Structure 1
Amino acid sequence: MNDKKRLNSYEDLPLVLDVADIQRIMGISRASAYELVHTPGFPAFRRGRLIKGSKIAFFEWMAKGSETVPGSDK
């Protein structure tokens, strides 16, 4: 996804998200985005060295909430 493109709606997102897309959606650092995609239960898959995730699965995961938050002691 073009980093300069402004996200105005859900429809603006590609069907398959990469780590940079997740970073921009959530407003987190690149390191935090990589930590997030490696969290157990996060809806991502690897294709070679690329990490991708379904837009639908990502937003369902966000709506459901996460039991563990990366970087927290809880």
Structure 2
Amino acid sequence: MKDSVYKSYEELPLFLNAKTVARVLGISPSSSYELMHQRDFPTLKIGNRIVVPKERFVQWVEQNTSGGNDECSDS
């Protein structure tokens, strides 16, 4: 797994695109696109673009991990 380039949620932009989601989670861009098309992933479609609101992304991470905190994973 790739390392996240972000060290805290405060560093994230207000809306995340697929490239940013990939960087935060330490996954490939193609895996990020797959994730963003899953039914339970919190996306917002604006025209042809799909983005993820920062607040909803943080909630999703905390709901899908055990013991989520305010720091992005280093592993």
Could you state the TM-score of these two structures normalised by the residue count of structure 2? 0.73
Q: Deviations over 1:25-52 (max 9, x none)?
A: 0011111000000001110011111111
Between the two structures, name the one with larger relative contact order (CA 8 Å, sep ≥ 6).
2
Q: Within 5 Å, which residues of 2 pair with 1:1-74?
A: 6-65=5-64
> For the aligned residues, what is the CA RMSD?
1.5
Q: Is the 8 A contact 2:14 2:54 kept in 1?
A: yes
Q: Which has the larger radius of gyration?
A: 1
2:54 and 2:35 map into 1 onto residues whose CA distance is: 15
- 4+ residue stretches of structure 1 with deviation over 3 A? none
2:40 and 2:7 map into 1 onto residues whose CA distance is: 28
The Cα of 1:9 is off from its aligned counterpart by 2.2
Identity over aligned pairs, percent: 38
Q: Which runs of 5+ in 1 are unaligned?
A: 1-5, 67-74
